[in-house]
Structure 1
Amino acid sequence: MLELIEVTKVYVQGRRTVPAVQGVSLTVRPGEFVTIMGPSGSGKSTLMHLMGALDTPTRGRALFHGQDLQAMSDRQRSLLRRERIGFVFQAFNLLPTLTAAENVALPLLLAGRNRRQALQRAGECLEQVGLSHRADHFPDELSGGEMQRVAVARAIVADPEAVLCDEPTGNLDSQTSREILTLLSRLPEPARRAVVMVTHDPTAAAYGTRLVRLRDGRIESDHPVPKSSVPCDSV
């Protein structure tokens, strides 16, 4: 589904060039929950941005279902992100003037869907994340955990084939983090949907089915997560 082939990403900062990712090859298959760990500056978020068509490689190829993302136009990449890839970020990125339901429905409304149908689908996704009773509340009326649940609902409203999460529990307390991670662990679907999560937290990484460790822009290790290490509340 998601594939990086000998990918390098170099950023230019004034007269300096900074290699964020160096020669990385990685494949994510449908049904997997891949967690990516590494110290600050190891290239975790850059890797996720390349897989999610938020950025393009300096060298190498980033593919989505065999399609080269760099060969697409900006509009094609934008449509791909809107229709086939969902995103969950540390800073919930909810619009303060929209209700929870409207925030969730926004990707569908931007795609031209009928408002009634979009809100109906948003209601279904809010119910899936246990937040249907807060559909008419604005972000400033929600707790941090509730806002992240809204963000998860928004990420899945278009029924994407991949959900990419960048430090989704970074702003949450430990109990709320467990609830969000349990929710994310239920999103992968065999033969259809994969989840990729960037995290610095080993406890969060244990919720995945596969752990990729980065160091200095390169893959240091890549192995399955033993079932015995998965927290008991996620199964």
Structure 2
Amino acid sequence: MIELLDAVKTYTQGRRTVNAVRGVTLRVQTGEFVTIMGPSGSGKSTLMHLMGALDTPSGGRAVFHGQDLQTMSDRQRSLLRRDRIGFVFQAFNLLPTLTAAENVALPLLLAGTNRGAALVRAAECLERVNLAHRADHFPDEMSGGEMQRVAVARALVADPEAVLCDEPTGNLDTATSREILTLLSKLPEPGKRAVIMVTHDPNGASYGTRLVRIRDGVLESDEQVVRR
């Protein structure tokens, strides 16, 4: 489904060259929940950006369902991210002037979906994350855990083939983190959807089906996890 094939990502910072990812090969299949861990600066977020078409490799290949991301135009990659990949970030990234339902519906509205239909679908996704009762509330009226569940609902609204999460529990307390991790663990569906999560939290790895460790831009290990 998502593949990195000998992927390399190099950045230039002034006169300095940073090798963020160095020759990584990694394959993720539908139905998997893959957790990526590593110390700060290890390249794990860069790895996720390559897999989610937020960036393209400097060398090697990034492939989504057989499509080489480097051969796609910026617009094609943008549509791929909008229609086929959902994203959940540490900072929630909700628009403060929109209600929960409107935030969830936003990707559909941007794609040209009728407002009524978009809000019906948003309501379904809020129901899935147990937030139907907060549909008309604004972000500043919700807790951090509720805002992150809204972000998860938004990631699901287009029924994506992959959901990519970058430190989704980084701003949450321990109990709320468990709630979000439990929710994320229920999203992968065999033959339909994969979840990839970057995290610093060792406890988070126990919710996945695979644990990938990266250090200094190099894949250190890739192992199956016994689910709790």
Q: Which segments of 5 or more consecutive residues in structure 2 lack a partner in the other structure?
A: none
Aligned match of 1:21:
21
How many Å apart are 1:192 and its aligned residue? 1.0
Distance in 2, matches of 1:218 and 1:73, equals 28
1:221 aligns with 2:193: no
Aligned partners of 1:177 and 1:49: how far apart in 2?
23
Note the C-alpha offset of 1:190. Answer: 0.5
Report 1:50-61 matches (<5 A).
Answer: 50-61=50-61
Task: Work out whether 1:149 is the aligned partner of 2:149.
Answer: yes
> Helix, strand or coil for the counterpart of 2:172?
coil
Specify the alignment match of 2:114 in structure 1.
Answer: 114
Aligned match of 2:6:
6
d(CA) in 1 for partners of 2:209, 2:98: 35
The superposition leaves residues 148-168 of structure 1 with CA deviations (integer Å, 9 ceiling, x where unpaired) of 000000000000000000000
Q: CA RMSD in A?
A: 0.5
Could you tell me how far apart the structure 2 residues matched to 1:225 and 1:157 are? 28
The 4+ residue runs of structure 1 with deviation greater than 6 A are none
User: Which position in structure 1 is the counterpart of 2:128?
Assistant: 128
Residue identity in the other structure for 1:129: V
Partner SS state of residue 175, structure 2: helix
Paired with 1:169 and 1:24, the residues of 2 have a C-alpha distance of: 26
Q: Deviations over 1:134-156 (max 9, x none)?
A: 00000000000000000000000
C-alpha distance after superposition, 1:104-156 (max 9, x if no partner): 00000000000000000000000000000000000000000000000000000
> What TM-score do the two structures reach when normalised by structure 1?
0.96
* Structure 1 residue 209: Cα displacement: 0.3
In structure 1, the partner of 2:211 is 211
Task: String of CA shifts for 1:184-211, please: whole Å, max 9, x gaps.
Answer: 0000000110000000111011100000
- Counterpart for residue 33 of structure 2: 33
Displacement of 1:29: 0.2
Give the corresponding residue for 1:172: 172
Match of 1:185 in 2: 185
* Map of 1:137 onto structure 2: 137
* Post-superposition CA distance 1:68-105 (Å, at most 9, x none): 00110000000000000000000000000000000000
SS in 2 for 1:168: coil
Report what 1:79 is aligned to: 79
Q: Distance in 1 between matches of 2:152 and 2:205?
A: 18
Residue 89 (structure 1) aligns with: 89
Residue identity matched to 1:112: G
What one-letter code is carried by the residue in structure 1 that aligns with 2:5?
A: I
Amino acid at match of 1:75: R
Amino acid at match of 1:55: D
Measured in 1, the distance between the counterparts of 2:148 and 2:70 equals: 31
CA–CA distance in 2 between the matches of 1:37 and 1:4?
17
State the AA in 1 paired with 2:30: P
Distance (Å, rounded) in 2 between the aligned partners of 1:66 and 1:4: 11
Partner of residue 202, structure 1: 202
Which ranges in structure 1 are unaligned for 5 or more consecutive residues? 231-235
Residue 57 of structure 1 aligns to a residue whose secondary structure is coil
Partner SS, residue 81 of structure 1: helix
Matched residue type, 2:14: G
